[in-house]
Structure formats: structure tokens, C-alpha cells
Amino acid sequence: MSDITWIQAFQMLLQMFRTMLSDNTELSDEKINELANAFMNALPTMMKIRLQAA
């Protein structure tokens, strides 16, 4: 089995962050999505392009 790519690792970390927020806070799914989107929007352009292409 090959190693995962950095994009796969990043996606896994973001999903784990969403799950942690959902399980351990009183935040609504809508607010969690807003936070995740704000984080994604704060990424450097090149990283966003690579993640969107995946």
C-alpha cells in the first residue's frame, strides 16, 4: 500500500477537526461549516487550487 498524499492527509485532518467540533461543542453544523469555510478561504491560493483539484 502506498503512502497517502499530503492532500489526502489534509482532507483527513479537516474532517477530524469537523468531527471533533461536532462531538465536543455545542456548535451547529452550519457554524462548523462556516468555520471550515473560513479556514479554507484563509489558505494560500496555491494550496486552495491543489485541494480543489483533488
pLDDT at 20: 96
Q: Please, where are the H alpha helices in 1-54?
A: 6-24, 29-42, 45-53
CA-to-CA distance for 33 and 35, rounded, in angstroms?
A: 5
pLDDT at 47: 87
Residue range 6-53, pLDDT digits in tens: 889 999 999 999 999 999 999 999 999 999 999 999 999 988 888 877
Length of the chain: 54
pTM for the structure as a whole: 0.73
Residue 5 carries which DSSP code?
P
Question: Residues with Cβ < 8 Å from 25, sequence gap 6 or more?
Answer: none
Radius of gyration of the chain (CA): 13
